[in-house]
Structure 1
Amino acid sequence: MLREMKRWENIHLTGINRLPAHTDFYRYQNIEEALQFNKEKSNGYTLLDGVWKFLFLEAPEFSPLGFEKKDFPVDAFDEITVPGCWQLQGYGKMHYTDVLYPFPINPPFVPQENPTGIYFRELEIDDLTDLFILKFNGVDSAFDLYINGQHAGFSKVSRLPSEFDITPFVKKGKNRITVRVYQFSDGTYLEDQDMWWLSGIFRSVELFKINRNTLQDVYVETLPDEHYHDFTLKLAGAFFTDHVKKIKANLLYQEEMVDSFFIDVQAGGFEAEQVIKNPHLWNAEEPHLYKLVLEYELADGGKEVVPLRIGFRAVEIIDNEICVNGKRVFFNGVNRHDAHPKTGRTVTYTDMLQDVLLMKQHNINAVRTAHYPNNDAFYDLCDLYGLYVIDEADLECHGLENTGNYNWLSDHEGWEKQYVDRAVRMVKRDRNHPSVMMWSLGNESGAGRNFTSMYHAIKDIDSTRLVHYEGDRVAAYSDVYTTMYTRLSALEEIGLDAEGKKPHILCEYGHAMGNGPGGLTEYQEMMRKYPRLQGGFIWEWCDHGIESVNENGEIFYLYGGDYGDFPTNGNFCIDGLVFPDKTPSPGLLEYKKVIEPIVTEEVDLQELKIKVKNRYDFRNLVGVLVNIVVKSFDIVIEETDMKLPAIGPQEEWEIVLPINLEKAILYENVRIYLSYHEPEDRLHAQKGHMITKESFLLSSTIVEKTVKRISDGGNYTTIEISDKPTVLTLENNIFKLEFSKVYGTLKSFVVEGEEVISKGPEVTLWRAAIDNDMYKKDEWIHKYFLKQAKEQVDTLTYRVSEEYVNIEITKYLSTVNQAWGFALVYQYRITKDGALNLHVKGSKVIRGKEIPEMLPRIGLTMHLNKEYSDVTWYGRGESESYQDSKRSQEIGLYRNTVEGMHTDYVYPQENGSRSDTSFIALAKGEDAYLVNFKKEYDFTVHDYDTTALEEAKHRGNIKKSPYNVLTIDYKQSGLGSNSCGEEQLPPYRAAVEDFHIQFELRKINKADLIEESKYFVAR
């Protein structure tokens, strides 16, 4: 017996009674109202969002008899908010997977346990003269619509709108809308994107009461002449009936009339062309928009006005390069999901606007709607604020990759209709948006004939844009050659292989999971090096954490597995440049700097010459405000402003800085800080917004740290030594220092009666693993046992002089069952004024063939007095930095607290490093301990230890320690992107290598910090 073919399992059925897809527009009574573009004030518009009655079922078959009837009793049912995802309103189960389908693969069939939600709403209608169009902007994954007991329609494709003419089913007075939504359908096999499985009516529901003779669709093209000077404005469209015979078209720019012309309508359809002389052109940097207002008369004598925002721009491949208006462009992009920590896939206009503003403010110029069409309002925002868009079809069947037949559906002719439907509906909705550069056929779905059909279907509708699909390895049905997470060496090969080849973009790279990504500078340099490489898109924009509150009222975020969901990909959904609440991560700050549109290079600072490069594709830098600050540590020597001259796109200019060099060189360690600011308000940022920054060191002012002997005026007594079998004690009237002779470690350091160090220093090779360590972590822990690295004491000797005592401890550092390690020499010097100087030398020992290619770090860690919690350092800041992710953090003098040095990643991991540091000071009031480095090192300081960080799985769960943990790194491995991308590059890897670390710790008055940092007391 064959299984019954259910509507939601019928691959030959894409919809019932669903209206043809069309562009988004709204109708108004007059031009004044139309130009406000407020859809809620448009003719006959009603928003049906709000509270609906709701019945949740285990499967559709459990639907009560007659549920669709107008008089079916619903008062006792629950209430649910529309739009919204039912899992986040207490129904069904939360489940996150990256690749896997959450059920057995048996297309087109889905499990009998198919969670179903039935929504009910009353609708009041007082006049039946017009048409009533009901629009669902997003329903996951398929649904049936009933009006007053009659079946009014069926649709699938979760993230595209579905419209129904419900006029035949409504009557005057109260009407019942019933919507039965199925979590799983045959369409689910094509919607296996990397995200939470969330269901329901998750986008707005709208009702349009429209005239029976009104406009049904309108399509706009802008075609350039050969010089991109004049453009032909092409319009085509159709009305519901053939009543309208003429349209008046008005073209406005900034409220000024540019042109006005009439269009003839024949048999309900129209086509027209009008040459527009020298229009302002649209691009992401200068998003000039025009308003095209269409006027026509209706049968009842009334007038209707339809406004459109349009941009004059052309997207082409010229000489194998992607061009906008004839100019090559470069994409500094990001992939974006709909994500909100409380409402999941349901996002508001305000949420989308926040995303767009943050992207623009961080120099991002492009977005890929991964992996589905977004709400239509998002494209309006991209048009208005200026973002290039890759508009991606709601199509991904990633789980099939694990079956060994990745092309199962994509090369199956029975599914062709489903594939083409998803492409055509997307294009027909979004084709009036100038921001859309490319149509994407989907993501991670193998290859096959159905993509060829999609490509041709799109080109038949819109030949003015490019088509993209990363899974097309030979670019047969893709106008660009696209790869993802391509390693640098392979990317260079693509760049070199350019002759006659299609342009290349990285549709995903730089996996922004947890602490990272690193290595973005190298990617940017590589992509800028070869003309064929035209940029890329970071994965991804936002962490998909779900907000929760702990017993202390603190917000933290849940991820896969926290709901008992299995199988799951855990915190793989926490991979964004912004945290769930849209707070920028250190990764976003770094990306902003790496993709800076204004690059500053030193030419000759002794003559104050710099070079400014304009990396914008269209914008001239004329008038950009440059703030110049000349500083020596915390002393501002001079501050001034200047405006940039006219520097055209892709041009560079040498500039002499207007500062007093003779005055500057009188100071020490002088740095020149440049920051570039918007000279006027822009849509995305206020006047003064910082575009980018750079700093330079005046090399002639560098001061080398010098040795300073102990002052004879100090009241210091002779150092007394107590040498017992297990403990060596050094003591005078200033300090007391204890060493364990058994373990060869410093046990305690007390200064003026207060313990400063309670443990350490000791060499550490371990860090709390970051997400980008995920493929190395197991080997580090279970093969090389790096967490178990221990020091074994060999010798401990000391030598006494009048002003100090030298202690030398030799050790061997290795770990379980390893034939490699380090021969260590600890050289302590304690002076009679209480200054502790330590020089640790490590020599690699290799007596076998099995050694780790990379170590997490080589550093010294120690426990310090927790009361000294105010931190000052001279190095990179203010935010964290690592050796492969530090360009955004300038060297300078910074202050924070130990608690403030923590970066609160959703999934706790190594964080808070400050790179290229000369000294740090930990203070309590006016007392401070200066940790002065012999050379520049990286450091972290936290109020918890590594074990506590590893045990905590969420924010707020890190157990605090009774001490502060300071780690000074000879080298900490970089961040890389290897949770899904490039490993840490060789220059940024710690290895089994020789090393040395030298620093000095002594008590000072905080006010004397800068002066004290310039010398060591001894050595």
Structure 2
Amino acid sequence: MTFDPVFAIERIADPTFVSENRRPAHSDHRWFADLDEARSGVSAFEQSLNGLWKFFCARNQGQVLPDFADPSRDVSGWDDIRVPSHLQLEGYDRPQYVNVGYAWDGQEDIEPGQVPERDNPIGCYVRTFALDCPLAEGERLSVTFHGAESAIALWVNGRYIGYSTDSFTPAEFDLTDALVEGENRIAAQVFSYSAGSWLEDQDFFRFSGIFRDVTLYRRPGVHAEDIRVTTAVADDLASAQVRVRVELDGAGGAVSARIEGVGELARDADGAFVVQVEEPRLWSPEHPHLYDLVIEVRDAAGALTEVVPQRVGIRRFGIENGVLSLNGDRVVFNGINRHEFGLNGRVPSRELTESDIRMLKAHNVNAVRTSHYPNDSAFYALADEYGLMVIDEMNLETHARWSRIRLHGESLDTALPGDHDEWRPAALDRARSMLERDKNHASVVIWSCGNESSGGTVLRDVADWFRSVDDRPVHYEGVHWDPRYPETTDIASQMYTPAAAVEDYLRTNRDKPFIVCEYAHAMGNSFGGVGEYIELAYRDELFQGGFIWDFADQAILMRDRYGREYFGYGGDNGEAPHDQDFSGNGIFFADHTPSPKAQEMKRLYQGFVVDVSESSFALTNRLMSTSSAEYETRVSISREGRILTAGVVDTDVAPGGSAVYPLPVAIPAAAGEYAIVVSLHLRTETAWAPAGHEVAFGEHVLRVGEPAAGATAPAAQVAAPAPRLVEGTLSIGVHGPGFHVTFSRIFNGLTSYRFGETRTGGRELLSGAVTPNFWHAPTANERGWGGPFEEGQWLLASRYGRASGFHEPADISVEQVDGGVRIGYRYELPTTPVTHCDLSYLVDGAGRVEVTQRMHVPEGLPQMPEFATMLAMPADYDRVRWYGDGPEECYVDRREGARLGVYDRHVPDMLTPYIRPQEAGNRTGVRWAEITDARGAGLRFEGDPIMEFSALSWTPAEIESALHPHELPPIHRTIVRPALMRRGVAGDDSWGSRPLDRYLLPTGDLEFRFAFRGIQNR
């Protein structure tokens, strides 16, 4: 066969050139030769073309080999490339992370529809294949590229087959008439940028290539081309009707259908197959029951041609009584946005997808928005099976064009697709390709017209088309910014609106249910104050929850020049333009392990509110269809992390109900601090967690008798002789049995603490002067609102505050008091206006040092990031054990998921590995903490009665200077920062939103008290 070029490459810049010779979109069902084969899951009708392809990368259209698909061309010298994969992760071109702008922004000046001329990598793929078995009479063969970014042109044996855009839905082509006996040669050009790329400006790494499976499909002479399953559930939920419509390809065929355990479906007058199901087991996230539908297709002679297994979830979803409802119950979306992204980029594997879903279920997530494109088909089957409600979003985002309207004041006429008729075919094609593929999945409850693309008639027409073929509600957030066609969306939707503003909006806007389709922008150390949204969802029925941005950090595993692995973000591949670490928004890390934010999300999303008191607990059930009786309710009482007594309570609280139960255990009479925890656990194993997995908890802390252990009250300490005071010329010493404390008159504070009887006078436990501290390495959110610019004088105050100098006396006080010596420093701080901080130390005869830090913060100074004391210890003291909130990092506005206990860690592991280092590792509610070496010697810190506590291996300056965790310097010290308070991390967004007022440090008079003392080997 000779080469037939036909395809005109310049057409890739035509917005109306959406596809050519591509087979119509259809359901994602599979077909098998018989029922046994269907049970095996391996279809003889499928043949994978995954694997190594020969590959040549052209830099742009001008470098494409015009005869690359000619069967006579020798490609043996070409490279090998894996399919599926991305060009950029296989060594061709560079990965590029961009949030808002198009990848070519500032590089080439082109208009919508046009493609970059200089830099448009085009992957030329070639491979051969032979059919596993010859085509039977009447059979046809097609190939499906399940994902090719951004457009693909296809040849077989030199014959041009067709073209397709839309990176994230299948491109299927019939190959039958181009086949030859024996070996066939398939060739594809995949264009990084086509006209369709103007509709694909999502917040993600810009990749290209064949990134999903490539599969050959044999279609029998009589074949179920499309299947549509719908369910209608009665108002009383006591019965349901299942309707199945099968579109046959081929003459004279016949179809039969049955549902296992229900019976045969009967042919209705309109040609659909129908069955009535009595007392149906309804699908929901809590009980994702699926029925097994089996469709058999026979030819005119009655011979079986194929068997189609289809899992069916019977459920009713829609807007009922003004709210989004599932099976008659109001829905609250405990949702998350999920990019399909892992260590191989957007190359999906079923194993990773299933692992993701298990983790989401285990963390109480009940819904996913596929941001901002249809996922691989396996995701929806798994969401059906595990129980996730899905907003299925079509592949559309034109954020950069929308930003021109918002930021530069351009007319709505410039929006894409806007009101432009030439973009309507592409938009409708993307909607159709998604809906037809995904329509039979019970998990899909809402169709979304895309993301951040303004408004206009094109998207209005897309929404109308959705409604014309399906009964699921339609979502589109862009109506909030362009309200000309409010009918585009059935749901009022906004992004990153603070909870208080949502509540204000709903006071006067009551016509549609409301969701925040993106909220709680989880960039770096953030996700603070998110509980405000959750509580609002249960105060106002129209607010039906939202979807966190987002699931996992987008980052690429890379190696630096020294061979060290790290996760790279925008700019790390030398790309431009880029948006730096803005890809690090995950509740989970780039390797899909949970970050500390997951601890908070799990608690906020739990299905039960558990209010615990000294004698009882109140249990409120927020689930839709599950009684608390399905879970084991456990009660425990512990003291300093050790469980003293435990019991089990049988509860039976119906969905939406509440009940109060007495505690089955008694509070001990002995003095001390006790934590009462009531928790709910799975009674039996589920697909996503083992039996015993905790789904919800509540905690109450109470004190009996004396103050909590670790309080700094002198009465709690053993009396000791007064220490010896030695006032030298430049130093002041305070000494007692087994300890020596030295204060400097010229180096700004306490500089030495030696403890323990040894030949050298004890171990030195400090590595420098103790100082007040007001600064930490800025978080992503703090950088986003400009905190370092506004608050930089607190950095100067922390690093350069002074109490003395070589040529002037220290501002220091020394006095002997009953049982001890008090040394006080006054630090002058370089703020505007100048302020002062007092730091005093009361040393008793046992070597215990009580620290008091006082300061008056006048109105007018910028916000203080923290009010803390900083000291350094030798690096060998690298174990930390604390009694306080944990186990994971927590802050004043992100501590709902923490609970009181005794925890221990290795100090180098206390800095949470966000993709860009920043303030991290804090613990709230700390009663005491111990920093020790491997033998158990070190310092014990005690709150008065509580403190916040940080123990890291690097100073704030070292953390701030590193752009990636692997760039942190070698460890030389352990940096300890007890604090009165660290400012909340904030959580509404990462480009301007600050912590809520109650999570900010106050102005006026501040006082922080804690103590430390040496401890010996245990």
Q: Normalising by the residue count of structure 2, what TM-score does the alignment of the two structures yield? A: 0.92
Counterpart of 2:388 in structure 1 is 387
Per-residue deviation at 1:414? 1.6
Asked if 2 retains the 8 angstrom alpha-carbon contact of 1:632 and 1:667, the reply is no
Asked if 2 retains the 8 angstrom alpha-carbon contact of 1:517 and 1:976, the reply is yes
Per-residue deviation at 1:262? 4.0
Name the CA shift for 1:59/1:550 in 2 (closer, same or farther; >3 Å). closer
Q: 2:446 aligns with which of 438, 449, 468?
A: 438
Counterpart of 1:831 in structure 2 is 844
Counterpart of 1:83 in structure 2 is 84
The SS at the match of 1:681 is coil
The SS at the match of 2:1004 is coil
The superposition leaves residues 733-754 of structure 1 with CA deviations (integer Å, 9 ceiling, x where unpaired) of 5333332324542222223422
The SS at the match of 1:994 is strand
Per-residue deviation at 1:729? 3.3
The superposition leaves residues 968-1014 of structure 1 with CA deviations (integer Å, 9 ceiling, x where unpaired) of 1111111112315742111111244321111222223465xxxxxxx
The superposition leaves residues 935-981 of structure 1 with CA deviations (integer Å, 9 ceiling, x where unpaired) of 21101011211111112111222114422111111111111123157
Per-residue deviation at 1:634? 4.0
Asked if 2 retains the 8 angstrom alpha-carbon contact of 1:738 and 1:747, the reply is yes
Tell me how far apart the structure 2 counterparts of residues 611 and 240 of structure 1 sit (CA, whole Å): 60
Asked if 1 retains the 8 angstrom alpha-carbon contact of 2:785 and 2:990, the reply is no
Structure 2, unaligned runs of 5 or more: 1-7, 804-809
Per-residue deviation at 1:554? 4.9
Name the CA shift for 1:733/1:238 in 2 (closer, same or farther; >3 Å). closer
Counterpart of 1:536 in structure 2 is 546
Name the CA shift for 1:326/1:832 in 2 (closer, same or farther; >3 Å). closer
Per-residue deviation at 1:413? 1.6
Q: Is it true that 1:628 corresponds to 2:635 in the alignment? A: yes
Aligned letter for 1:842? M
Counterpart of 2:55 in structure 1 is 54
Q: Is it true that 1:618 corresponds to 2:620 in the alignment? A: no
Name the CA shift for 1:215/1:702 in 2 (closer, same or farther; >3 Å). farther
Per-residue deviation at 1:356? 0.7
Tell me how far apart the structure 1 counterparts of residues 939 and 327 of structure 2 sit (CA, whole Å): 60
The superposition leaves residues 857-890 of structure 1 with CA deviations (integer Å, 9 ceiling, x where unpaired) of 1111111233332222111011111001111110
Q: 2:264 aligns with which of 260, 263, 286?
A: 260
Aligned letter for 1:431? K
Within-5 A mapping of 1:851-1000: 851-852=861-862, 854-924=863-933, 925-977=935-987, 978-980=989-991, 982-1000=993-1011
Name the CA shift for 1:960/1:616 in 2 (closer, same or farther; >3 Å). same
The SS at the match of 2:445 is strand
Per-residue deviation at 1:5? 8.3
Tell me how far apart the structure 2 counterparts of residues 696 and 740 of structure 1 sit (CA, whole Å): 45
Aligned letter for 2:12? W
Asked if 1 retains the 8 angstrom alpha-carbon contact of 2:140 and 2:218, the reply is yes
Asked if 2 retains the 8 angstrom alpha-carbon contact of 1:331 and 1:365, the reply is yes
Counterpart of 1:232 in structure 2 is 241
Asked if 2 retains the 8 angstrom alpha-carbon contact of 1:485 and 1:982, the reply is no
The superposition leaves residues 513-533 of structure 1 with CA deviations (integer Å, 9 ceiling, x where unpaired) of 111211111221122211110
Q: Is it true that 1:306 corresponds to 2:308 in the alignment? A: yes
Per-residue deviation at 1:770? 0.8
Relative to structure 2, which stretch is displaced further, 451-460 or 178-187? 451-460
Tell me how far apart the structure 2 counterparts of residues 616 and 691 of structure 1 sit (CA, whole Å): 12
Aligned letter for 1:649? P
Aligned letter for 1:191? E
Asked if 1 retains the 8 angstrom alpha-carbon contact of 2:626 and 2:654, the reply is yes
Q: Is it true that 1:813 corresponds to 2:822 in the alignment? A: no
Q: Normalising by the residue count of structure 1, what TM-score does the alignment of the two structures yield? A: 0.92
Counterpart of 2:657 in structure 1 is 651
Q: Is it true that 1:1002 corresponds to 2:1006 in the alignment? A: no
Tell me how far apart the structure 1 counterparts of residues 47 and 124 of structure 2 sit (CA, whole Å): 21
Counterpart of 1:330 in structure 2 is 332
Aligned letter for 1:450? V
Tell me how far apart the structure 2 counterparts of residues 134 and 242 of structure 1 sit (CA, whole Å): 23
Relative to structure 2, which stretch is displaced further, 221-230 or 200-209? 221-230
Asked if 2 retains the 8 angstrom alpha-carbon contact of 1:289 and 1:384, the reply is yes
Counterpart of 2:807 in structure 1 is none
Relative to structure 2, which stretch is displaced further, 833-842 or 561-570? 833-842
Q: 1:23 aligns with which of 24, 27, 37?
A: 27
Tell me how far apart the structure 1 counterparts of residues 456 and 722 of structure 2 sit (CA, whole Å): 85
Counterpart of 1:1010 in structure 2 is none
Aligned letter for 2:849? L
Aligned letter for 1:687? A
Per-residue deviation at 1:701? 5.0
Name the CA shift for 1:718/1:516 in 2 (closer, same or farther; >3 Å). closer
The superposition leaves residues 582-630 of structure 1 with CA deviations (integer Å, 9 ceiling, x where unpaired) of 110011111001111121103x42xx21111111111122141123222
Within-5 A mapping of 1:714-733: 719-724=724-729, 726-732=730-736
Per-residue deviation at 1:88? 0.1
Tell me how far apart the structure 2 counterparts of residues 709 and 660 of structure 1 sit (CA, whole Å): 26
Tell me how far apart the structure 1 counterparts of residues 326 and 307 of structure 2 sit (CA, whole Å): 31
Asked if 2 retains the 8 angstrom alpha-carbon contact of 1:135 and 1:161, the reply is yes
The SS at the match of 1:875 is strand
The SS at the match of 1:542 is coil
Name the CA shift for 1:60/1:320 in 2 (closer, same or farther; >3 Å). same
Counterpart of 1:373 in structure 2 is 374
Per-residue deviation at 1:19? 0.7
Asked if 2 retains the 8 angstrom alpha-carbon contact of 1:506 and 1:537, the reply is yes
Within-5 A mapping of 1:471-490: 471-473=478-480, 474=483, 475-490=486-501
Counterpart of 1:1013 in structure 2 is none
Counterpart of 1:596 in structure 2 is 606
Tell me how far apart the structure 2 counterparts of residues 494 and 709 of structure 1 sit (CA, whole Å): 53
Counterpart of 1:250 in structure 2 is 258
Counterpart of 1:1016 in structure 2 is none
Aligned letter for 2:494? T
Name the CA shift for 1:544/1:675 in 2 (closer, same or farther; >3 Å). same
Counterpart of 2:124 in structure 1 is 118
Tell me how far apart the structure 1 counterparts of residues 675 and 197 of structure 2 sit (CA, whole Å): 58
Asked if 2 retains the 8 angstrom alpha-carbon contact of 1:509 and 1:981, the reply is no
Name the CA shift for 1:709/1:417 in 2 (closer, same or farther; >3 Å). closer
Within-5 A mapping of 1:64-79: 64-79=65-80
Counterpart of 2:363 in structure 1 is 362
How many residue pairs are counted as aligned between the two chains? 974
Tell me how far apart the structure 2 counterparts of residues 261 and 139 of structure 1 sit (CA, whole Å): 38
Counterpart of 2:566 in structure 1 is 556
Name the CA shift for 1:435/1:711 in 2 (closer, same or farther; >3 Å). closer
Q: 1:467 aligns with which of 466, 474, 484?
A: 474
Relative to structure 2, which stretch is displaced further, 754-763 or 319-328? 754-763
Cα RMSD between the aligned structures?
A: 2.2
Tell me how far apart the structure 2 counterparts of residues 186 and 623 of structure 1 sit (CA, whole Å): 53
Name the CA shift for 1:833/1:335 in 2 (closer, same or farther; >3 Å). same
Aligned letter for 2:825? I
Asked if 1 retains the 8 angstrom alpha-carbon contact of 2:784 and 2:991, the reply is no
Asked if 2 retains the 8 angstrom alpha-carbon contact of 1:780 and 1:786, the reply is no
Per-residue deviation at 1:575? 0.9
Tell me how far apart the structure 1 counterparts of residues 130 and 917 of structure 2 sit (CA, whole Å): 52
Asked if 2 retains the 8 angstrom alpha-carbon contact of 1:26 and 1:43, the reply is no
Counterpart of 1:207 in structure 2 is 216
Aligned letter for 1:124? A
Q: Is it true that 1:107 corresponds to 2:112 in the alignment? A: yes
Aligned letter for 1:614? N
Tell me how far apart the structure 2 counterparts of residues 346 and 502 of structure 1 sit (CA, whole Å): 37
Tell me how far apart the structure 2 counterparts of residues 575 and 408 of structure 1 sit (CA, whole Å): 26
Aligned letter for 1:646? D
Counterpart of 1:425 in structure 2 is 433
Asked if 2 retains the 8 angstrom alpha-carbon contact of 1:249 and 1:263, the reply is no
The superposition leaves residues 487-515 of structure 1 with CA deviations (integer Å, 9 ceiling, x where unpaired) of 1221111332354x100001000111111
Tell me how far apart the structure 2 counterparts of residues 623 and 292 of structure 1 sit (CA, whole Å): 28
Name the CA shift for 1:529/1:554 in 2 (closer, same or farther; >3 Å). farther
Asked if 2 retains the 8 angstrom alpha-carbon contact of 1:334 and 1:540, the reply is yes
Q: Is it true that 1:795 corresponds to 2:805 in the alignment? A: no
Aligned letter for 2:774? L
The SS at the match of 2:802 is strand
The superposition leaves residues 702-732 of structure 1 with CA deviations (integer Å, 9 ceiling, x where unpaired) of 62544249867x6x686141331x4333345
Within-5 A mapping of 1:208-223: 208-223=217-232
Asked if 1 retains the 8 angstrom alpha-carbon contact of 2:390 and 2:444, the reply is yes
Name the CA shift for 1:779/1:686 in 2 (closer, same or farther; >3 Å). closer
Name the CA shift for 1:830/1:75 in 2 (closer, same or farther; >3 Å). same
